[in-house]
Amino acid sequence: MKGLNDYIAQNRDRFLEELFELLKIPSVSADSRHKDDMLSAADYVKDKLLKAGADSAEVISTEGHPIVYGEKIVDKKLPTVLVYGHYDVQPPDPLELWESEPFEPVVKKTVNHPEGAIFARGSSDDKGQMYLHIKAFEAMNELGDIPCNIKFMIEGEEEVGSAHLGDFCRKFIEKLDCDVILISDTAMISMDTPSITTGLRGLSYVEVEVTGPNRDLHSGIYGGAVDNPVNVLCDMIASLKDENNKITVEGFYDKVEKVADEERELMGKAPFDLEAYKKDLNLEDVNGEKGYTSLERTSIRPSLDVNGIWGGYTGEGAKTVLPSKAYAKISMRLVPHQSSEEITDLFTRHFKKIAPNTVDVKVTPHHGGEPVVVGTDSDEYRAAHLAVVDAFGKPPIPLRSGGSIPIVALFEEVLGAKSILLGFGLDSDALHSPNEHFGLVNYFKGIETVPGFYKHYSELKKQQK
Amino acid sequence: MKGLNDYIAQNRDRFLEELFELLKIPSVSADSRHKDDMLSAADYVKDKLLKAGADSAEVISTEGHPIVYGEKIVDKKLPTVLVYGHYDVQPPDPLELWESEPFEPVVKKTVNHPEGAIFARGSSDDKGQMYLHIKAFEAMNELGDIPCNIKFMIEGEEEVGSAHLGDFCRKFIEKLDCDVILISDTAMISMDTPSITTGLRGLSYVEVEVTGPNRDLHSGIYGGAVDNPVNVLCDMIASLKDENNKITVEGFYDKVEKVADEERELMGKAPFDLEAYKKDLNLEDVNGEKGYTSLERTSIRPSLDVNGIWGGYTGEGAKTVLPSKAYAKISMRLVPHQSSEEITDLFTRHFKKIAPNTVDVKVTPHHGGEPVVVGTDSDEYRAAHLAVVDAFGKPPIPLRSGGSIPIVALFEEVLGAKSILLGFGLDSDALHSPNEHFGLVNYFKGIETVPGFYKHYSELKKQQK
């Protein structure tokens, strides 16, 4: 480890500068105006893979944004690790809430990051976490110690549902052949309490449109006599949860995994400070499904959130309009063994059923993803565990996360390989929010941890034979 | 009347062209980018008043948009009529729903207007209805038959709450001295069934802001554990009406006038075709307060509508955000003897009271206005009645309207004069909506009717003496 740490120390400034260059490219996959930026970011990743020591690297077109693929085959007899990450980022809106420019990275100190954090869109999700793998690879290559074959698959559509990744995996199934997939796109509890993600929630995401009268009406002349689609939409959304915050969509909980009491008890031992949580969010109180803790509500229980709502006059001042239409984006996080497609169907049927006959309702599904559970009784999990012990000096806690990485289920199905979710971010990194950031310590600790994974995984596999 | 009708027929094209010029000026009072257009529209009205024969006309500054004042004093012994109207218009949004440009007037035929209607923002509300008074005045002046002193007060802030009109009236109380105020800013039932508006609803208009967490959050990591302000706002809005569509704001109905059964029975005789109403709006069904007819729901009963709602991600595609804030514009139409200020207070108190402790709520009042009832037993009402009989060949029906003209109550209080609401629009004119229009017949019938009002009013006043 001495050589590795020296190498990281000697190249620290360059490692940071290179990440900054990547963060400056506004690769927003959801926004078609950024098409060229997507290509620039993909090229940048490809170039850096080659410079780090890949045998080959290429930008491969898809029907959407391209995927970067690179590899270093050391010895066909060694186990093969496929690193997955993404170079696309969430839209930076709302822009006015950023304290610095989203695509002009700066380092600032925070309560959670006393040694400084990089503020930029994508710093944690996922450019910083993806790029640390390329730098770990570079270090291993320079030090002449690569105990596994390594493949990189870095996509550009994770934030918009990875629509073309499935076809890509099926098309290049031999090229992508591997023993395990390694992903850093999740968080740890803290740098003092390292953790490994052992579960992810699935996702069902729909857009709804409620149409009342065929045109916007004067709210004085018609108000009271005609159902207002915004009021109706509010009624319908309000009815989606009952007084215990249970989701009322018919059949919604039918397939939800019942987690054993012992497992819930174990989970309850993970450090979680509710007061600090509330303080961080400036909340007087939290709220959620009755009978579950905050940690359980975001891990073993499904949820439903309105991600956006709009309708009527939203400009300056007052307009007395009774609008013709109202819209909302609504998403549900799913847990094992709910199916994204099935839940989308149940929601659609339910939402149309509860609509009064004074409006028309249209439900359009966006991307979805399946929930995932990662077993802890495997060589790959043990390798990740040991790598964290080496770098952090203490054992990581296995922890389910509330987020979704829809492609994990896909990888298992198409590539037949399990994924390890070895994330180095923090939940407080403001992912998908203004002022997203990624700790300097997290970045460099990541570079230090990853080579340990390859070492332990290779050794565990050797013992097995 | 022969001379009048000849004059209108001879000048028909010019009367239309002049109105078109006015409609081309985008005098949107709510939007500060249109400040210069407001001045252009005011100047245009002033010039046309002078050309029509006013002794004097001026554009008078206020702290908001200016007010145009003009007068023709024939004889101090004659009664004085103050014509009120407004040159400002509603914002044209949503622009994409206009079939022609909002500020490029065109004449098209419709089911309600087989002889053609002028399509433009402000055509009916209120430029068309205001300008017909200037043309009626011109005709009377040219024909040498002006039986009253006439004053014009044309403001530019009606659509944003007439914030500076009260001060203006108080400041120029002597200049504005009059016996009656004549306003054309309402609708008739139809050209076949003329009506005069005998009541207007008041208005309370608020904007609400609901704040949850101090930043936008990742809906996966936090969803289920933290109250989502959009969901909370929907819950709160849904709770504002009960299952019978009664408004639940505490004390809301305390002062609502109880209309006598006989009066309700009389009202029920006004022609109203529910099937045609639904068909016009493309609605399978209507909905409103239990126990009242559609006409009652928009005249003698108060209402509550969301005029706009927004929060979270409203762009293209999907963003998995749990937003920090959600907003809505909510207005209530009031009936005698509700007070706008009191209802705004009751709403504010109620809305804060029903907010859970997981969010902060801010309520900001916009403009309001008091409800109005116009008595039918007066010289001014009788004059309007007789003018309609002359021009339409049948007696008008007295009818309460659901809209609001907040300044009517103010005029009575400050100027001590009653208002006559002699409107020539139709409810189907798409006021405040895309494709607003005003029938050609309505415009010219208005020019024909107004001189009759002056004639009958002057005669009735003379008889009284």
Q: pLDDT of A389-430, one tens digit each?
A: 999 999 999 988 888 887 898 899 999 999 999 999 998 898
Shortest CA distance to A251 belongs to which of A328, A330, A344, A361?
A344
Q: Considering CB atoms only, which of B230, B301, B333 is closest to A220? A: B333
Out of B224, B333, B366, closest to residue A318 by CB:
B366
φ, ψ of residue B405 to 5 degrees: the values are -125, 90
- Separation CA A127–CA A420 (nearest Å): 18
List Cβ<8 Å contacts ≥24 apart for A135-138: A135/A11, A135/A15, A135/A18, A135/A52, A135/A447, A136/A446, A136/A447, A136/A448, A136/A449, A136/A450, A136/A451, A137/A49, A137/A52, A137/A53, A137/A54, A137/A72, A137/A450, A138/A51, A138/A52, A138/A53
Name the residue with tokens 């950024």: A34
The ranges assigned to domains in chain A are: 2-199+371-464, 202-256+302-365
Average pLDDT over residues B81-105: 95
Choose, out of A286, A313, A366, the residue to mutate when testing the contact with B (most B CBs < 10 Å): A313
The predicted model gives A341-354 an average pLDDT of 98
A203 contacts on B by Cβ (under 8 Å): 220, 320
Which chain B residues are within 8 Å of A187, Cβ to Cβ? 221
**Hey, are the CB atoms on B226 and A307 less than 8 Å from each other?**
no
Residue A463: exposed, middle, or buried by beta-carbon count in 10 A (0-12, 13-18, 19+)?
exposed
Nearest beta carbon to residue A224 from set B203, B212, B298 = B298
Is B65 in contact with B38 (CB distance < 8 Å)?
Answer: yes
Of A285, A306, A427, the CB nearest to B312: A306
* Residue B88 known to be catalytic: yes
Q: Phi/psi of residue B327, each to 5°?
A: -135, 155
- The alpha carbon of residue B164 and the mean position of all alpha carbons in its chain are separated, in whole angstroms, by 17
Residue type at A361?
A: V
Q: What is the mean pLDDT of residues B100-122?
A: 96
What DSSP character marks residue B214?
A: S
Which option is the CATH number for B2-200+371-464: 3.40.630.10, 3.40.50.2000, 3.90.25.10, 3.40.50.300? 3.40.630.10
**CB contact, 8 Å: A222 with chain B?**
yes
Mean pLDDT for B125-129 is 97
Kindly report, residue by residue over B4-61, the tens digit of the pLDDT: 999 999 999 999 999 999 999 999 999 999 999 999 999 999 999 999 999 999 999 9
What is the edge-to-edge ordering of all strands in the sheet holding B202-211? A360-365, A202-211, A325-334, A303-312, B303-312, B325-334, B202-211, B360-365
10 Å CB burial of residue B25 (0-12, 13-18, 19+) is: buried
Q: What is the ipTM of this complex?
A: 0.84
Structure letter (DSSP) for residue A189: S
Q: Are A447 and A131 within 8 A, CB to CB?
A: no
- CA B69 to CA B82: how far, in whole Å? 10
Give B208's pLDDT tier (boundaries 50, 70, 90).
very high
Q: In this complex, is the C-beta atom of A99 within 8 Å of any C-beta atom belonging to chain B?
A: no
Spatial CB neighbours of A377, under 8 Å, sequence gap ≥ 6: none
Joined tokens for residue A104: 């002009």
- Return the closest-CA partner of residue A19 out of A91, A110, A119, A94: A119
Which of helix, strand or coil describes residue A270? coil
B121 shares contact with chain A (CB less than 8 Å): no
* Rounded distance between C-alpha atoms, residue A441 and residue A191, angstroms: 8
Write out pLDDT tens, residues B319-356: 889 999 999 999 999 999 999 999 999 999 999 999 99
With tokens 């002449």, the residue in question is: A144
Closest chain B C-alpha to A211 CA, distance in angstroms: 10
Residues B244, B297 contacting (CB under 8 angstroms): no
Cβ distance B217 to A433 less than 8 Å, yes or no, reads yes
Q: Give one DSSP letter per residue of A284-295, joined into a string.
A: S----STTS-HH
Minimum-distance CB partner of A301 among B224, B310, B331:
B224
Residue with tokens 């020296």, as numbered in its chain: A6
Closest CA to A326 of A388, A415, A237: A237
> DSSP secondary-structure letter at A240?
T
Element at B182 (helix H, strand E)? strand B180-183
CB B58 within 8 A of CB B152: no
Which token pair is A22? 């990547």
Mean pLDDT for chain B overall: 95
CA distance A273 to B201: 53
Contact call for B309 and A307, based on CB within 8 A: no
Shortest alpha-carbon distance between residue A322 and chain B (Å) = 6
Question: Do B220 and A97 make contact, defined as CB atoms within 8 angstroms?
Answer: no
**Cis previous bond, B396, omega within 30:** no
Contact between A356 and A239 under an 8 Å Cβ cutoff? The reply is no
Q: Which residues of A touch B256 (CB under 8 A)?
A: none
Residue-by-residue DSSP string for A121-165: TTTTTTHHHHHHHHHHHHHHHHTT---SEEEEEEES-GGGT-TTH
Mean pLDDT of A140-166: 95
| Interface residue A340 vs chain B (CB under 8 A) | no
Q: Inspect the interface and report whether the beta carbons of B307 and A318 lie closer than 8 Å.
A: yes
Q: What confidence score (pLDDT) does residue B332 get? A: 98
Q: How far is CA A272 from the centre of its chain?
A: 21
Please identify every residue of A annotated as catalytic.
88, 158
Contact: A333, B215; criterion CB under 8 Å: no
Q: CA B267, CA A35: separation in Å to the nearest integer?
A: 62
How far away is chain B from the Cα of A313, in angstroms, using its nearest Cα? 5
- Find, in chain A, the residue whose alpha carbon is nearest to that of B295: A225
Q: What's the whole-number mean pLDDT along residues B158-162?
A: 88
According to CATH, the topology of domain A202-256+302-365 is Alpha-Beta Plaits (3.30.70)
**Do the strands A149-155 and A67-72 form a parallel or antiparallel pair, or are they unpaired?**
antiparallel
**Chain B residues close to A357, C-beta within 8 Å:** 284-285
Whose tokens are 């309007």? That residue is B384
Question: Does the beta-carbon distance from B306 to A312 stay under 8 Å?
Answer: yes
pLDDT value at A177 more than 70 = yes
- CB proximity B198 to A under 8 Å: no
How do B418-421 and A217-218 pair as beta strands? unpaired
Q: A13-23 as b/e, with b when 16 or more CB fall inside 10 Å?
A: eebbebbbebb
CA B224 to chain centre: 44
Q: Which amino acid type is present at position A257? A: E
3-state secondary structure of B244: coil
Query: Is B310 close to A313, i.e. CB distance below 8 A?
Result: no
Please, is B60 exposed, middle or buried when counting C-beta atoms within 10 Å of its C-beta (0-12, 13-18, 19+)? middle
Query: Is the Cβ of B160 closer than 8 Å to some Cβ of chain A?
Result: yes
User: Could you say which of B71, B158, B159, B436 is catalytic?
Assistant: B158
Task: Say whether B407 sits in a helix, a strand or coil.
Answer: helix
A433-444 pLDDT, tens digit per residue, is 899 999 999 999
Q: pTM for this structure? A: 0.84
- Name the pairing type of β-strands A180-183 and A80-86: parallel
Judge whether A371 is closer than 8 Å to chain B, CB to CB: no
CA-wise closest residue to B306 among B324, B327, B284, B288: B327
Average the pLDDT over each of A158-162, A328-332, B19-23 and give the range with the smallest value: A158-162
- Residue B412 is encoded by which pair of tokens? 């009575």
Check residue B136 and give its pLDDT.
98
pLDDT in the model for residue B422 = 97
Nearest by CB to residue B284, choosing from A235, A316, A358, is: A358
pLDDT of A448 reads 98
Touching check for A365 and chain B: CB below 8 Å? no
Residues 444-463 of A with CB under 8 A from B: none
pLDDT, residue B94, reads 85
* Neighbouring-strand partners of residue A363: A208
Kindly state the average pLDDT of the residues A42-69.
98
Q: Given an 8 Å threshold on Cβ–Cβ distance, is B331 in contact with A309?
A: no
Asked whether residue B155 carries a pLDDT value surpassing 90, the answer given is: yes
* Helix ranges (DSSP H) in B103-209: 127-142, 165-171
Query: B382-416 burial string, b = 16+ CB within 10 Å, else e?
Result: ebbbbbbbbbbeeebbbbbbbbbbbbbbbbeebbe
Q: Using CA atoms, how far apart are residues A164 and B218, in angstroms rounded to an integer?
A: 23
Q: Quickly state the pLDDT bin for A147 (edges 50, 70, 90).
A: very high
Closest CB from B225, B404, B434 relative to A216: B434
**Topology (CATH level 3) of domain A2-199+371-464:** Aminopeptidase (3.40.630)
Which tokens in the block code for residue A351?
Answer: 């939402």
Task: Determine what percent of chain B is predicted with pLDDT higher than 70.
Answer: 100
pLDDT at residue B1 in the model = 59
Q: Do A432 and B319 touch (CB under 8 A)?
A: yes
Q: Which residue has the tokens 């000026």?
A: B25
- pLDDT score at A297: 97
Taking the Cβ of residue A370 and every Cβ of chain B, the question of whether any pair is shorter than 8 Å is answered with no
Average pLDDT over chain A reads 95
Cβ neighbours of A109 (radius 10 Å): 12
Q: Look at residues A406, A383, A374 and name the one whose alpha carbon lies nearest to residue A455.
A: A383
Q: Is A304 helix (H, G, I), strand (E, B) or coil?
A: strand
Q: Is the peptide bond before A126 cis (omega within 30 degrees of 0)?
A: yes
All residues at 6 or more sequence positions from A219 whose CB lies less than 8 Å from its CB, including other chains: A228, A320, A321, A322, B303, B305, B307, B331, B333, B432
Query: What is residue A1's predicted lDDT score, i.e. its pLDDT?
Result: 59
Inform me whether the pLDDT recorded for A353 exceeds 70.
yes
Does B442 contact chain A (CB < 8 Å)?
Answer: no
